[in-house]
Structure 1
């Protein structure tokens, strides 16, 4: 028995599949998988275990990955818990769950340095993006600055964090704060991102878990608005879709989106974007969806 499954969301290959798919698909063997956490600031997920393959998406520090295989070249094949994305990543970027305790907080600043200890003058260990997850075990204050001490002994500035379950009221403001962030195909961090990652990261700050790619968001994010007789009266936070692209309405007329035209997150009149995409790519607006916070 074999189902046609999207490789991006289902850990299934002809030679190996997750145990949960046994009886549904044909594979040489089925495995339970092992829980790991991302121990690198940022790690690329790819469709094949090769450094020259393009980035499908990225995993952030502290996120959970179920690993189903590690090969001799140091690649791990697994599924990201945040949005279910499946791909290959360097095994060296992952640690066992004991090495990184259960996350208690999320990075809410666009990015924050992680120091070896609570001292901003110390050489940083790395830089964490908006959305990264950390486990806070202590707090320290040095020269009037409060630090959150993490489970591995490192430290970040406390005001850059929020509790893991925190929700902002105006999630579009998070997208606006990312204005100027470079466009990166497959990117999913404040260092570089693509159109659907901008939507996903901003919505996450508002407590809404969205799928990773624009085609997935177009079929499942929020509620569909009728555009049979033209565009409805748009509201802040409405999502506008074209084939392969998505943006967020800042108001009734202005769209913010990560785009390859500007190679950055920019805001511009929706009418201008729609005209340009129609003229350059031949695509009209295909769907409008409105997110509803649960």
Structure 2
């Protein structure tokens, strides 16, 4: 009873204030004074529930009607949970709650109901509700910041990768790729996938036959169809294209990966003349976190894409207790320990994958990384 009474009082006071100000505001075409506060609340919601735009999309703006009774949300969010959070944030800052900022939550809810404020999400898109499964039909599909070939390279998706497609714009499709990143891929790089058990993966690049690209890169998912008598395997990709692969170049990751496998995967790149490429994921060019991601992915472990995200995986270990496979973290850089002082990484200064040491007496001593070392993380 007390809550309803408070709500009614707030509603009456709010109605009087609104009546005095509505006509002046309509004449000036200014937005409702509460609109700024609603949008601040919505922006705060983003910092709490979708702080990393690399992996979760959140772009919401609110408009408040002249009478304060109607809040419309515009834009898009990744999923229904973020939609609910955005609606809740708008309610917290709606005109009714401004009339009684110190009320308990239940009373504030009743006050909002009493004023009749509604939250309209008609113009708020939810990406996961329009999602489609697609696959990459080009050897490499650059994933970019914006639907523009000149925008920044975020990461890459390789042939046969499964992606989740959302909106389309000017020949581009917004997607989520296997490393978790959100970005834009050219729509003509995508096709419908076939059904299958794609539980094998290429551990090295192959020269493919058939209708697919000439080169299919390490890290590509496939299904083993059969083994041949001459030591090859017939594999099929999500595109529906099949080819023969040397048996040693395709593996089914172990249910319990080993650190030795991860090091083998990383060392493969040492003999390929792979250059360093920001955002790269293949032997055509690879960056430090892409190098780590591939070494683990081919072993059956999917890490986050970027170095700061990878630094949050596993448990911290002492530098004096490094084992092979441990992640070595530096400002804006990441490497894989070979055990002791030695490590392997894709280095911009070396223009590609290389090995270095923390030992000042070693020929490959890397002083800057030795001095800027932050922490080590153990996953296995």
- TM-score when scaled to structure 1? 0.82
Evaluate the alpha carbon distance shift between residue 149 and residue 268 of structure 1 in structure 2; reply closer, same or farther with a 3 A threshold. closer
Match in the other structure for 2:335: 247
- Matched with 2:137 is 39
Instruction: Pick closer, same or farther for the CA change 1:79–1:25 going to 2, 3 Å.
Output: farther
Over 3 Å counting, the alpha-carbon distance change for 1:25 and 1:168 in structure 2 is same
User: Following the alignment from structure 1 to structure 2, what is the Cα–Cα distance between the partners of residues 107 and 167?
Assistant: 18
Residues 327 and 376 in structure 2, CA contact (< 8 A), matched pair in contact too: yes
Higher relative contact order (CA 8 A, sep 6+): 1
Aligned-pair Cα RMSD in Å: 2.5
- Choose which of 248, 261, 265 in structure 1 pairs with 2:349: 261
Asked if residue 103 in structure 1 is aligned to residue 198 in structure 2, the reply is: yes
Superposed CA deviations along residues 188-246 of structure 1, whole A, max 9, x for unmatched, are 12332111111111112333221110000112x211124xxxx3232222221111001
Which of these two proteins has the greater Rg computed from alpha carbons? 2
Counterpart of 2:185 in 1: which secondary structure? Answer: strand
Q: 1:25, 1:271 → 2: CA distance?
A: 52
- Residue 116 of structure 1 and its aligned partner are, at CA, apart by 0.7
Do residues 150 (structure 1) and 236 (structure 2) align?
yes
Please report how far the alpha carbon of residue 154 of structure 1 lies from its aligned counterpart in structure 2 after TM superposition: 3.2
Is the 2:279–2:287 contact (alpha carbons within 8 Å) kept by the matching residues of 1? yes
SS state of the match for residue 22, structure 1? Answer: helix
Corresponding residue to 1:275 among 360, 367, 375 = 367
In the alignment, the residues of structure 2 paired with residue 259 and residue 65 of structure 1 have an alpha-carbon distance, to the nearest angstrom, of 28
Alignment partner of 2:182 out of 86, 91, 95: 86
1:59-113 residue CA offsets vs partner (Å, 9 max, x unmatched) = 1222221111011x21000112x23211111111111233x645242112x2012
Match runs of 1:82-231 below 5 Å: 82-98=178-194, 101-108=196-203, 110-116=204-210, 125-137=213-225, 144=230, 146-150=232-236, 152-159=240-247, 160-163=249-252, 169=258, 170=260, 171-179=262-270, 180-219=273-312, 221-226=313-318, 231=319
Tell me the SS of whatever aligns to 1:182: coil
TM-score by length of 2: 0.65
Structure ranking higher in helix proportion: 2
Q: For residue 59 of structure 2, what is the aligned residue in structure 1?
A: 13
Report how far residue 146 of structure 1 moved: 2.8
Query: Does the residue aligned with 1:238 lie in a helix, a strand or coil?
Result: strand
Aligned residues: 271
